[in-house]
Amino acid sequence: MELTPDWIVGFVDGEGCFHVSLQKHPEMTVGHQVLPEFTVVQHERDIQVLYALKKHFGAGVVRRNHGERFAFRIRNLEGLAQVCEFFMKHPLKTKKHTDFRKFRQILLMMQERRHLTREGLLEIIEVALTMNSTTRPRLEEIRESLKLG
């Protein structure tokens, strides 16, 4: 299946997700690892589309998500840099564009290794908390503990 840039933009405007989470990592000075990821979830019947996206970006994996739903997911920073380059060149048309810009901002901070300092991590959390318009109680909790520490 051949995908055109415009089709990918339209499909990701509908189905894509730019997400940043934190994972406990006691060996790191700040105690947490930053995990940015780009995902597209589809019903099993459209797994072909997910593989076409994987081929297009030359990165990521296709894995079962929940039940009959599968996810195409890119987590490695090199692959995510490709994703950023693509959506800078071919901008999203929905408000997901705002999430993408914040996502990219976090990736750029990580490239500058700012996620390895308490101040940088706090900054990343502040940005992540304004993404995806959902509440993130766990992220808020980590923020408060970082502020205290």
| Interaction site with a second copy (CB under 8 A) | 1, 3-15, 42-43, 45-46, 49, 52, 93-95
Question: Is the CB of 58 or the CB of 91 nearer to a second copy?
Answer: 91
What three-state secondary structure class fits 70?
A: strand
Q: Which residue has the tokens 């339209």?
A: 10
d(CA 119, CA 125): 10
Ramachandran quadrant class, 107 (left: phi over 0; alpha: psi -120 to 50; beta: rest): alpha
Could you tell me which residues come within 8 angstroms of residue 94 by beta carbon, excluding any fewer than 6 positions away?
13
Pick the closer one to a second copy by CB: 5 or 119.
Answer: 5
Whole-number Å distance between alpha carbons of 21 and 138: 9
Q: CB-wise, 34 or 53, nearer to a second copy?
A: 53
Closest approach of a second copy to the CB of residue 94, in Å: 5
Give min distance, CB of 110 to a second copy, in A: 27
Least gap, CB of 52 to a second copy (angstroms): 8
Show the tokens assigned to 93.
């048309």
Alpha-carbon span 41 to 112, nearest angstrom: 30
Which one, 46 or 123, has the nearer CB to a second copy?
46
96 vs 136 by CB, closer to a second copy: 96
CB of 46 to a second copy, least distance (A): 5
Q: Shortest gap between Cβ of 62 and a second copy (angstroms)?
A: 15
